Structure 1
Amino acid sequence: MASEKEKMLSQQPYIASDKILTRERLAAQSLCFDLNSISPKFVAKRKKLLQKLLGSSTENLHIESPFYCDYGYNIFLGDNFYSNYNCVILDCAKVTIGNNVMLAPNVSIFTAGHPKDAEKRNQGWEYAIPVSIGNNVWIGGNTVVNPGITIGDNTVIGSGSVLTKDIPSNVIAAGNPCRAIREITEEDKQYYFKQRKF
């Protein structure tokens, strides 16, 4: 019979209060606590903790505190990753983030969910579906990325968005629910904000 962890990692319903999962979440919470308690000036020490916490990362990453996650080992970061303050990643399933990705403050990435049926929910059942974020993505502040979402390469997600469906590559997307508004064009290379040119 599969363990609750094996069920979680294979996208089957599972019970999160399982002893092994509880112990692993506590270990990740302890590492997050240590990370969030260290002065920002201790860059090398912070990176060591992140390497211990995360599934994979490169030397070229920067995560502002506070940062929170469920397990850490399901988070796979590409090169040149930046996360601003108060990032939350519920990584009960795999979260894959490409190269050159920037997260504004208060971005939340959720792989975890609960059944719609109250009885099942009250019994402690959960599920987890992976999230994938491509290369060269910028996600605006106060955005929520829900379970099972894929964001394509070179895409910008506007502030305050709630992603309930996949977002393609090379677009500006925003809203609740988030949707593609338009493609990013050559003309966009001229401007840094609205009609303000570089």
Structure 2
Amino acid sequence: MAISPVKIHLFNLFVKICPPSRLNSFKVQLLRWAGAKVGKNVSIFSPRILGQFEFIIGDNCWIGHDALIFGAAGSKIEMKPYSKVASRAIVVTGYHDYGVQYDCIAGPGKCDDIIIGQGALIDTQAMVCPGKTIGEKSHVAAYSVVTHDVPSFVRVAGVPARVIKNFKEQV
């Protein structure tokens, strides 16, 4: 089920005036009321959630201050259990088909789903582009831009994000 645009607008108004680390259970209830599927023990600071998309948040997830979660109509963003979207991170499912044949270089709008794997972290001011999957227990470093799927158990960094560390080697 997609989020209701009117209800998510009311959610955004509430989190804007609410202290970021307060009234968490009420924020979770509001997000469920807006149409999101929200698991147990979820912490929500003060994100901005926009769009009419399917939003699934697993158990024990965390969404930070000023995170921007934007889902185009008909898309889905799923946060698997224990995943985190840090403060000011950007997760967006919408994009355009680009080409000179259109009146504007940015042609028709499109969308692709995003999946954030179990235990993964999208760090501060990182961006996940449409259609990407972040693997289990992977770390997208601060200020990185994810333009390709991220494998499990790695750290990616940079623009575009590239693997800089493999956590499996530590085991």
TM-score (norm 2): 0.85
Tell me by how many angstroms 1:123 deviates: 9.1
* Counterpart position of 1:28: 8
User: 2:27 aligns to what SS in structure 1?
Assistant: helix
* Counterpart position of 1:152: 135
- Structure 1 residue 126 and structure 2 residue 109: aligned? yes
Note closer, same or farther for the CA distance 1:160–1:52 as it changes in structure 2 (3 Å cut): same
* Counterpart position of 1:182: 165
Q: Distance in 1 between matches of 2:103 and 2:36?
A: 30
Q: Distance in 2 between matches of 1:95 and 1:113?
A: 14
- Per-residue CA deviations over 1:4-41 (Å, capped at 9, x if unaligned) read xxxxx9xxxxxxxxxxx9xx534422332123323453
Note closer, same or farther for the CA distance 1:182–1:41 as it changes in structure 2 (3 Å cut): closer
Tell me by how many angstroms 1:83 deviates: 1.3
| Unpaired stretches in structure 2, ≥5 consecutive residues | none
Contact 2:28 2:38 in 1 (8 A): no
What one-letter code is carried by the residue in structure 1 that aligns with 2:81?
N
Q: Distance in 2 between matches of 1:79 and 1:168?
A: 22
- Structure 1 residue 104 and structure 2 residue 68: aligned? no
* Counterpart position of 1:77: 57
Q: Which protein has the bigger strand share? A: 2
- Structure 1 residue 135 and structure 2 residue 115: aligned? no
Tell me by how many angstroms 1:102 deviates: 1.6
Calculate the aligned-residue CA RMSD, in Å.
Answer: 2.5
Max radius of gyration: which structure? 1
Alignment: residue pair count? 166
Q: Distance in 1 between matches of 2:64 and 2:92?
A: 17
Contact 1:114 1:121 in 2 (8 A): no
* Counterpart position of 2:32: 51
Tell me by how many angstroms 1:133 deviates: 1.1
Tell me by how many angstroms 1:122 deviates: 7.9
Q: Which protein has the bigger helix share? A: 1
What one-letter code is carried by the residue in structure 2 that aligns with 1:105?
S
Q: Distance in 2 between matches of 1:174 and 1:27?
A: 35
